[in-house]
Amino acid sequence: MSAKLISSIPTNLYIGGEWLPSSDGNRIAVVDPATELVIADVASGSAADATGAVDAAFEAAAEWVATPPRVRAEVLRKAFELMTERKEDLATIISREEGKTLAEGLGEVAYAAEFFRWYAEEAPRTMGHFGRSPAGANNILVDYSPVGVSLLITPWNFPAAMGTRKIAPALAAGCTVILKPASETPLTALALAGLLEDAGVPAGVVNVFPSSRSSEISNRILSDSRVGKVSFTGSTEVGRVLLAKASERIVNCSMELGGNAPFIVLDDADIDNAVAGAMIAKMRNAGESCIGANRFYAHSSIADEFADKFAAAMAELKVGPGLEEGVDVGPLVNASTRDKVEHLVNDAAAGGARILTGGRRPEGPGFFYEPTVVTNIDPQSEILHTEIFGPVAPIVKFDELSDVITRANETIFGLAAYVFSDNVGRALSVAQQLDAGIIGVNRGFVSDPAAPFGGMKQSGLGREGSQDGMHEFLEKRYIAVEW
Ligand code: NAP
């Protein structure tokens, strides 16, 4: 059944409302990470095609910005409704190309759809403001206009939500877009293109442009003077490259980059709640999440109890193909992601770490890795200083609060963090000392379309979701006026 669904997805570039092959015939093979088999191939856009996508987005821009905000809102609302109606199909497509379980795929689709609903509600509320200058010399008028044609580049781990978190605010703001999905997961993005067309998005307003030549095409698009914005979600390494390129023309940038989230359990935490939170914060998408808990710090007085209960819960999880009944954890996205996870665990074990559960890769096919809990880790171990992006939880003991705060902040990243304590005042005081843009207090689940999502330090620039997400696609204009 899912094979028929996959073969129903258009596989060419979606430019100006048309499905076009790549001008040089290049294609990308899409692999099911549960079987390692190719399930589809899609057009891989060339630099010349990228200019075609900019032409289409630029031509559509004048009419889209002139479309009343209320009408833009209704299109976004329709996209929310269609996404909700098509949730089973979309979740199945996500699971086939990315690996997550059907239940997680449904969760992602619901979250992704919420961005259309939220920004449908925000679109008519982009009001400027007006006031008298304090000196009384003139009036101050501030209004907003869209930043213009926007390049959106997304990662593979949440192929629907990372797309809608950018498309919805961009369209609400009056921008037209070119979405470049990750090469591992172009099918969800192409399915989204069809959905947006059905929702009434005019031709050229959203262009979906898979390409395995990401550097070449982003260079071409960012060199084009008709392009006003790049909004990127992915690794810090690639974010740096894009920022350097964007600096040539001072292109407006939003960057959602990598993380290395600490998860801190204080001595007075409810251990069962901390374990429940750890399971969510660690195991969302098999650990392949930018806000995934990466390092666990537990107070010495409760660390063994926390580790034992956490390991017991991890050992209960069933690993297997995401669409199979009863499976809790799907495969990792590709061989290199799985090999990196395996290397980090083996390296920690070689340094004297103790594996409480997991620690092995099951027999293939499929890029599986067992849910793993590791303790007794050397503080210098690579596993504590690298974004693991897999189902592995390293646990470290601490005694002093000031020490754990220092250790938690000892990273170039500052995306997410988690604090567990039954004394909320104490937990909040720790939270306020953490360099992180998103903090869960007694909660492992933190994503919310109504909340600002983004990182400090080298985890990014700007915020997605909330009212902030729309302002990333707007320019402010101040007019000094007298009448
Ligand atoms: P990635 O390697 O940085 O790739 C992300 C996207 O950038 C893909 O579409 C990729 O295209 C493209 N890309 C790669 N090199 C490029 C270049 N030189 N110029 C322009 N585009 C380029 O990241 P990933 O492996 O897909 O995703 C995992 C990373 O994303 C992790 O670090 C994670 O923390 C981060 N992430 C952050 C957030 C957040 O909100 N902060 C959310 C999710 C993920 P190809 O696939 O064609 O190479």
CATH assignment at residue 412: 3.40.309.10
On whether both 204 and 319 belong to a single domain, the answer is: no
Q: What is the CATH number of the domain that holds 24?
A: 3.40.605.10
pLDDT computed for residue 6 by the predictor: 97
Residue at 329 is within a domain? yes
Taking residues 454-478, report their average pLDDT: 97
* Exposure string over 303-318, b if 16+ CB within 10 A, otherwise e: beebbbbbbebbeebe
Residue at 369 is within a domain? yes
DSSP 8-state code for residue 36? T
Max Cα-Cα span within the chain:
77
On whether both 421 and 476 belong to a single domain, the answer is: no
On whether both 352 and 297 belong to a single domain, the answer is: yes
Answer for the pair 34, 105: CB distance below 8 angstroms, yes or no. Answer: no
Taking residues 138-148, report their average pLDDT: 96
Structural domain total, the chain: 2
pLDDT 10s digits, 300-327: 999 999 999 999 999 999 999 999 999 9
Residue at 214 is within a domain? yes
State which of 27, 46, 100, 157 you would mutate to test the pocket of ligand 1, scoring each by most atoms of that ligand within 8 A of its C-beta. Answer: 157
Residue at 238 is within a domain? yes
On whether both 354 and 236 belong to a single domain, the answer is: no
Amino acid at 382: E
Assess whether pLDDT exceeds 90 at residue 186.
Answer: yes
pLDDT level of residue 22 (50, 70, 90 thresholds): very high
On whether both 37 and 156 belong to a single domain, the answer is: yes
On whether both 432 and 298 belong to a single domain, the answer is: yes
On whether both 253 and 266 belong to a single domain, the answer is: no
Residue at 453 is within a domain? no
pLDDT computed for residue 258 by the predictor: 97
Which tokens in the block code for residue 395?
Answer: 């646990």
Answer for the pair 393, 347: CB distance below 8 angstroms, yes or no. Answer: no
- Helix (H) or strand (E) holding 255, with range, is strand 252-256
On whether both 282 and 201 belong to a single domain, the answer is: no
Amino acid at 107: G
In this structure, the number of other CB atoms found within 10 A of the CB of residue 468 comes to: 16
pLDDT level of residue 98 (50, 70, 90 thresholds): very high
pLDDT computed for residue 12 by the predictor: 98
Strands (DSSP E) found in 9-70:
13-15, 18-20, 27-32, 37-43
Percent of the chain scoring above 90 in pLDDT: 98
Taking residues 328-345, report their average pLDDT: 98
In this structure, the number of other CB atoms found within 10 A of the CB of residue 483 comes to: 4
* Spatial CA neighbour of 342 closest among 358, 356, 355, 360: 360
On whether both 180 and 308 belong to a single domain, the answer is: no
CA of 240 to the centre of ligand 1 (A): 11
Assess whether pLDDT exceeds 70 at residue 50.
Answer: yes
Phi, psi of 397, rounded to the nearest 5 degrees: -90, 150
pLDDT computed for residue 86 by the predictor: 98
In whole angstroms, what separates CA 295 from the centre of its chain?
20
CA of 258 to the centre of ligand 1 (A): 9
Taking residues 138-160, report their average pLDDT: 97
On whether both 333 and 245 belong to a single domain, the answer is: no
Q: Which atom of ligand 1 is nearest to the CA of 210?
A: 47
CA of 453 to the centre of ligand 1 (A): 17
Pick the catalytic residue: 98, 122, 256, 370? 256
Taking residues 344-362, report their average pLDDT: 97
Assess whether pLDDT exceeds 90 at residue 345.
Answer: yes
**Segment among 69-78, 130-139, 247-256, 292-301 with least mean pLDDT:** 130-139
Instruction: Give catalytic status of residue 256 as yes or no.
Output: yes
Residues 188, 121: Cα–Cα separation, whole Å: 25
Taking residues 192-203, report their average pLDDT: 98
pLDDT level of residue 58 (50, 70, 90 thresholds): very high
Q: How far apart are the first and last CA of the chain?
A: 67
On whether both 426 and 394 belong to a single domain, the answer is: yes
Residues 181, 233: Cα–Cα separation, whole Å: 10
Residue at 321 is within a domain? yes
| Dihedral angle over CA of 172, 178, 179, 180, nearest 10 | -160
| Dihedral angle over CA of 423, 427, 429, 434, nearest 10 | 170
CA of 57 to the centre of ligand 1 (A): 23
pLDDT level of residue 1 (50, 70, 90 thresholds): low
- Backbone torsion region of residue 210, taken as left when φ is above 0, otherwise alpha when ψ lies between -120 and 50, otherwise beta: beta
Q: Which atom of ligand 1 is nearest to the CA of 415?
A: 41
Pocket around ligand 1 at a 6 A CB cut-off: 153-157, 162, 180, 182-183, 212, 214-215, 218, 233-235, 238, 241-242, 256-259, 290, 387, 415, 455, 460
pLDDT computed for residue 248 by the predictor: 98
Taking residues 341-367, report their average pLDDT: 97
Pick the catalytic residue: 253, 290, 342, 387? 290
Nearest CA to ligand 1 atom 42: 290
Residue at 454 is within a domain? no
To 5 degrees, how large is the angle CA 63–CA 76–CA 56? Answer: 35
| Length of the chain as a residue count | 483
Taking residues 209-232, report their average pLDDT: 98
Percent of the chain scoring above 70 in pLDDT: 100
Instruction: Decide the pairing of beta strands 206-208 and 227-233.
Output: unpaired
To 5 degrees, how large is the angle CA 359–CA 365–CA 369? Answer: 20
Domain that holds residue 369: 261-448
On whether both 368 and 223 belong to a single domain, the answer is: no
